[in-house]
Amino acid sequence: MRHLSDRDTDRALIYPRAFYALYFGAMATLAPFIVLYYQQIGLSGQQIGVLSGIAPVVTLFSAPLWGGISDATRQHKRLALIALAGALICMLAISRVDRFALLIPLVALYAFFIAPVLPLIDRTVLDLLGARKEDYGRQRLWGSVGWGLTGPLAGLFIQRMGLLWSFYLFALFIAVALLVTARMPIRSTSLGQPFWQGMRQLVTNRPLALFFIAMFLQGVGRSSSFGFFYLHMNDLGAGRFLVGLMLTVAAMSELPSFFFSGTLLRRFGSRALFIVSLTAATLMLLSYSIIRNPWLVLLVQVLTGPSFSLMWVAGVSYTDRMAPQGMGATAQGLFSAVSMGLASGVGALIGGWMYDHLGAVWLFRWAGFMVVLGLGFLMVTYRESPAEQPAVEMRRDT
């Protein structure tokens, strides 16, 4: 890919910034309310857990599949557009169905299409940044802006108009995101070697495999509680507006973490960011198990910033540095598949069972334990990427 000047790069980055804002704005209209919609149409907690678990399990296979096809064919933009359009159609179809048996294939299809979208855009941003890859977080923070601004407004609107409107708002945001993606300068990095040779190097990378195991363990904890957090808030009496406000506080707390993530990466390295983020996630989950007044949860939501943002930036950065040349989309697809796919699927299934049989309090405690387990595994097995080692040695010498 031709390297751009800083001015041209900043101009090109307008499109992925707009995409992040629209994409996560769409998720803010849907993610907190879809489980409430499932509950409204009469599904049990276990059935909700199954539906919540299907999407991540499909992501496990579809994200690296789409990424591999993108890297092999160099058709990143065309595949991103197809994926977005497919996800839009599937979600509208889900809004018209109230039978559990019919929801299963539709949710699976939606997951198949939505899975590659973020890895493809993340890869595009990293390619555009070139030597400034640590500035990824300053681009990704626009997703938090979109989520934070949309959350409370969508909550008020949906509370007034009904849960079906969460689907319609989602469709509107994704439709505009499609238009932005069509204008986005998605370029194809040349392969440094034959595709299958690069794939073999990627899947046999032992430090990366151990890193993915750690991300799986902590991801199981996070995802097992995520969908049921909103049901728990509903049980505690939180209205749609308060839920939207929680989304805003969480999203706004991500802004400083994303903004300063590049500086933190350069100064402390990925390992330190993982330790801080997973410690914050543990404290947040355990706090959820204690608090009984939903308004107090607003105080806990400020931990979302360090708990998620630092983990995601460090994970994307580490995966990119470990990927062979031209295999960026495949590598990011694998990272997404493990941390958001396999982990989320297993976590959602376990979370559904625990919510039904043990209640939300024990679910959050178990989730916190899994994050601690992932942190422990990471601290024992983590190895710096080649790009990090000089900086690490410099810090040790000072």
Average pLDDT for 373-384: 84
Average pLDDT for 149-176: 88
Q: What is the distance between the alpha carbons of residues 264 and 310, in angstroms, rounded to a whole number? A: 9
Q: What is the distance between the alpha carbons of residues 338 and 119, in angstroms, rounded to a whole number? A: 12
pLDDT band at 397 (very low <50, low <70, confident <90, very high): very low
Residue 4: how many CB atoms within 10 A of its CB? 18
Q: What is the pLDDT of residue 358?
A: 86
In this structure, of 47-56, 212-221, 366-375, the range with the lowest mean pLDDT score is: 47-56
pLDDT tens digits, one per residue of 87-138:
999 999 999 998 899 999 999 999 999 988 888 888 778 777 776 777 788 8
Q: What is the distance between the alpha carbons of residues 368 and 222, in angstroms, rounded to a whole number? A: 8
pLDDT band at 395 (very low <50, low <70, confident <90, very high): very low
pLDDT tens digits, one per residue of 265-310:
888 888 889 999 999 999 999 998 888 888 988 898 889 888 888 8
Average pLDDT for 147-175: 88
Mean pLDDT of the chain: 81
Helix, strand, coil percentages in the chain from 3-state DSSP, rounded to 5 = 85, 0, 15
> Longest C-alpha distance within the chain, in Å?
63
Q: What is the pLDDT of residue 58?
A: 84
DSSP 129-142: HGGGGGGHHHHHHH
pLDDT band at 4 (very low <50, low <70, confident <90, very high): low
Taking 60 as the threshold, does the pLDDT of residue 222 lie above it?
A: yes
* CA 339 from centroid of its chain's CA atoms: 8
Q: What is the distance between the alpha carbons of residues 251 and 28, in angstroms, rounded to a whole number? A: 10
Average pLDDT for 156-177: 91
Q: What is the pLDDT of residue 104?
A: 93
In this structure, of 56-65, 104-113, 288-297, 363-372, the range with the lowest mean pLDDT score is: 56-65
Q: What is the pLDDT of residue 398?
A: 40
Q: What residue ranges define each of the domains in the chain, with the CATH number in brackets?
A: 11-187+195-397 (1.20.1250.20)
269: left (phi over 0), alpha (psi -120 to 50) or beta: left
Long-range contacts made by residues 358-365, C-beta under 8 angstroms, separation at least 24?
Answer: 360/228, 360/231, 360/232, 360/235, 360/288, 360/289, 361/289, 362/289, 363/224, 363/225, 363/228, 364/225, 364/232, 364/285, 364/286, 364/288, 364/289, 365/285, 365/286, 365/289
Q: What is the distance between the alpha carbons of residues 224 and 355, in angstroms, rounded to a whole number? A: 10
In this structure, of 142-156, 167-181, 276-290, the range with the lowest mean pLDDT score is: 142-156
What stretches of the chain adopt beta strand conformation (E)? none
Instruction: Please list, residue by residue across 303-323, b when 16 or more beta carbons sit within 10 angstroms of its beta carbon and e when fewer do.
Output: bbbbbbbbbbbbbbbbbbbbb
Taking 60 as the threshold, does the pLDDT of residue 396 lie above it?
A: no
Q: Is 149 helix (H, G, I), strand (E, B) or coil?
A: helix
pLDDT band at 386 (very low <50, low <70, confident <90, very high): low
pLDDT band at 203 (very low <50, low <70, confident <90, very high): low
